[in-house]
Structure 1
Amino acid sequence: MDIRFDLFENELATRFAKRFAGAALVIQDSPLPKATQELVSLRASQINGCGHCIDMHVKEAAAAGESAVRLHLVAAWRESTVFTEAEQAALALTEEGTRLADASHGVSDETWALVRKHYDDDQTAALVSLVALINAANRLGVITRRKGGSYEAGMFTTALKS
């Protein structure tokens, strides 16, 4: 399957993408740990089946020094010993925030309490915003059939500068 529509070759979509990327930069520059940002983005992308985003976040995380073991275990984080309690709270929020349609409760009070135990207000704001943003990015990628495999670490940052 080929890409259905290249959002980077349409003027309106390009204007939107620049603003979308600006929101991503706010989160990227936040006090939420970079490793947590990549783990959250990877997990949501796995759930949503966005090959392009999975490709991007695995490669960005690896380039930033994330271990292959942790990247491989993100999909089974509950059955793993390699994630901190704070990362587990972020991953739980990611799953519940991504699967809103699958659960009548949305994000549980238990998960929210764990997030608030481990993250201050700015980190929580960044985490909630990141879950929303990566889910939107996943939808853009899946709807247009943007495939994974060709992303190279640093491409996102380079694209923002052009």
Structure 2
Amino acid sequence: MALDARIQNPAALLPDAVQAVNLLYKAAHSAGVPGNTLELVHLRASQINGCSACVDSGARSARKAGETEERLFALAAWRETPYFTDAERAALALAEAATRLADRSDAVPDEVWDEAARHFGEKELAALVLWIATTNFFNRINATTRQPAPQHWG
């Protein structure tokens, strides 16, 4: 199976989509959720969805924002590591549940939502939900069209 993109990135083919995506990004990042939490949520959802382009860009963006290698390396096993705060764990649990909607009959159980609500206010929860949905949006576009992670040398 070829790893080449099936088509150019749809946002490049439909430039009006870029404006909508930029508005979603701005809304999610303006509600007070710490930037590193949004970076971790994006990266974890992208790992689950197998979106190589988003995993690559997400890890690089998180590193640029000051995220440590130790936490990035452990993200897929966040439950079994001591590296994440309770608020980050709540956001990651919400991201996993909202990304794996079909895995259980109660897609986002009350205990997952309630734990997130203990750490984030209503606007912050709205931003997290919007950011998780936006990440899944990107993941599905990139996976469907086989957008590859860029090759980085050196």
Shift of the alpha carbon at 1:17?
Answer: 2.5
Q: Is the 2:52–2:149 Cα contact (8 Å) retained in structure 1?
A: yes
- Per the alignment, residue 95 of structure 2 pairs with 94
Q: Distance in 1 between matches of 2:38 and 2:21?
A: 16
> TM-score, normalising length from structure 1?
0.88
Aligned to 1:138: 139
CA contact (8 A) 2:11 2:17 kept: no
Provide closer, same or farther for how the CA distance between residues 150 and 19 of structure 1 changes in structure 2, counting only shifts above 3 A: farther
Provide Cα deviations, 1:30-71, integer angstroms capped at 9, x if missing partner.
Answer: 201001000000000000000000111100110111000001
Matched, 1:117 2:108: no
**1-structure distance, mates of 2:31, 2:58:** 17
Q: How many residue pairs get matched? A: 149
| Partner-residue secondary structure (3-state), 1:76 | helix
1:21 CA displacement: 2.1
Structure 2 partner of 1:52: 53
Aligned to 1:37: 38
The unaligned stretches of length 5 or more in structure 1 are 152-162
Q: Supply the distance in 2 between the matched residues of 1:150 and 1:122 (Cα, whole angstroms).
A: 37
Question: What is the match of residue 62 of structure 1?
Answer: 63
- The match for 1:20 is 21
The whole-number CA distance in structure 1 between the counterparts of 2:67 and 2:107 is: 30
DSSP 3-state at the match of 1:148: coil
- Cα distance 1:8–1:123, how it changes in 2: closer, same or farther (>3 A)? closer
Task: Measure how far apart 1:150 and its partner are.
Answer: 4.6
Deviations 1:123-155 (A, max 9, x none): 11101111111111100110111111358xxxx
Cα deviation for residue 121 of structure 1 reads 1.2
1:159 maps to what in 2?
Answer: none
Identity across aligned pairs (percent)?
40
TM-score normalised by structure 2 residue count: 0.92
The runs of at least 4 consecutive aligned structure 1 residues that moved more than 3 Å come to none
The offset of 1:8, in angstroms, is 4.3
Distance 1:150 1:20, change over 3 A: farther
Say what the alpha-carbon RMSD is for the aligned residues: 1.3
Mapped contact 2:44–2:96 kept (Cα < 8 A): yes
Letter in 1 for 2:57: M
Q: The residue matched to 2:82 in structure 1 has which SS?
A: coil
Q: For residue 71 of structure 1, what is the aligned residue in structure 2?
A: 72
